[in-house]
């Protein structure tokens, strides 16, 4: 099991280095996402979730649709969140660059918050204390942590298992146990420090099978159950199999019937810019092992 976590992590390390070279003014977001996903597979991994490329005030869940013409511009804060898995054992990692410019304090705030969190993580530590350290670090730079986004436990074929690690101090927490695997992901912002849902949805997850009358929706559901039974998938992946606008209606039908879950695009409530840094770690008695 742990060797598979490590192998998935090694794949993400390679892809992160390579994709960073693509993050330049004028590059299409779609090109970046496709590169990341294809490269993970070429290195022997499977996709743990669609590549997220979230710009400026967008915090998460933006994976470009197949028609996306969005390009990167100088000064954009671009967060690339990618994940690989081997036999369901996941490596989840993310980083931020500012296009055409040097690393600034808001990027450093997220990076140092992650470093400080990792330095204190071991079996027996309370997740509330980790959140307090993340909050303290980010605020020391003059920014706010995102209070309603969290790190999360990873399990086989489960990207968001039953335990979270907050980015702020909390009254109650969870005591970390030896052998558990977590993704730790501080977010810093010059905005509200809280994210809200946008109407846009490009990432989904299968929940349950139910009878459905619409013919195309039945075909889409069959494909989802066959190919994405456990982990999140992108509308873009289905668009290559079911071209045309009818796919959108089919997905909405599946959402209305509670068959799939929708990951709405998340943005800062006051449209402040956001940075992110994330690693996956294996909890040990005397510290933690960073796999990504």
Average pLDDT over residues 14-42: 98
Return mean pLDDT, the chain.
96
Catalytic site includes residue 68? no
- Report helix, strand or coil for 109: helix
pLDDT tens profile 164-189:
999 999 998 999 999 999 999 999 99
Average pLDDT over residues 152-162: 94
Domains, the chain, ranges and CATH?
2-196+267-290 (3.90.230.10), 200-266 (1.10.10.10)
Catalytic site includes residue 160? yes
Residue 267 has pLDDT above 80, yes or no: yes
Average pLDDT over residues 240-251: 88
Q: Which candidate in 112, 152, 180, 235 is catalytic?
A: 152
Distance CA 134, CA 252 (A): 37
Q: Which candidate in 10, 37, 92, 111 is catalytic?
A: 92
Residue 244 has pLDDT above 80, yes or no: no
Please give the pLDDT value at position 243: 79
Q: Which candidate in 37, 76, 81, 268 is catalytic?
A: 81
Average pLDDT over residues 243-261: 92
- 214 or 62, higher pLDDT: 62
Which ranges of 99-208 would DSSP assign to H, the alpha helix? Answer: 105-120, 127-140
DSSP string, 26-49: T-BHHHHHHHHHHHHHHTT-EESS
Residue 214 has pLDDT above 90, yes or no: no
Confidence grade of residue 213 (pLDDT, cut at 50, 70, 90): confident
Catalytic site includes residue 76? no
Angle at 106 between CA 121 and CA 139, to 5 degrees: 60
Average pLDDT over residues 104-126: 98
Please give the pLDDT value at position 158: 94
pLDDT tens profile 127-156:
999 999 999 999 999 999 999 999 999 999
């Amino acid at each position: 099991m742990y060797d598979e976590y490590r192998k998935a992590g090694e794949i993400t390390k390679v892809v992160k280095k390579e994709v960073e070279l693509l993050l330049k003014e004028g590059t299409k977001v779609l090109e970046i996402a496709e590169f990341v996903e294809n490269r993970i597979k070429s290195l022997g991994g499977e996709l743990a979730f669609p590549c997220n490329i979230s710009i400026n005030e967008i915090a998460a869940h933006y994976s470009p649709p197949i028609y996306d013409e969005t390009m990167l511009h100088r000064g954009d804060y671009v967060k690339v969140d990618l994940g690989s898995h081997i036999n369901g054992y996941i490596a989840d990692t993310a980083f931020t660059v500012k296009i055409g410019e040097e690393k600034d304090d808001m990027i450093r705030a997220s990076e140092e918050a992650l470093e400080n969190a990792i330095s204190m993580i071991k079996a027996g530590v309370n997740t509330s204390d980790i959140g307090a350290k993340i909050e303290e670090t980010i605020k020391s730079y003059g920014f706010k942590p995102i209070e309603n986004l969290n790190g999360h436990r990873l399990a086989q074929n489960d990207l968001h298992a039953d335990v979270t690690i907050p980015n702020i101090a909390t009254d109650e927490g969870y005591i970390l146990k030896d052998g558990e695997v977590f993704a730790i992901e501080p977010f810093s912002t010059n905005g509200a420090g809280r994210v809200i849902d946008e109407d846009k949805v490009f990432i989904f997850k299968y929940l349950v099978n139910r009878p459905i009358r619409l013919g195309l929706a039945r075909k889409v559901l069959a494909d989802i159950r066959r190919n994405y039974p456990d982990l999140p998938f992108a509308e873009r992946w289905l668009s290559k199999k079911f071209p045309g606008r009818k796919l959108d209606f089919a997905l909405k039908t599946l959402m209305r019937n509670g068959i799939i879950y929708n990951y709405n695009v998340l943005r800062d409530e006051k449209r402040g810019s956001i940075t992110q840094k994330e690693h996956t770690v294996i909890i040990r008695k005397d510290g933690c092992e960073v796999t990504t």
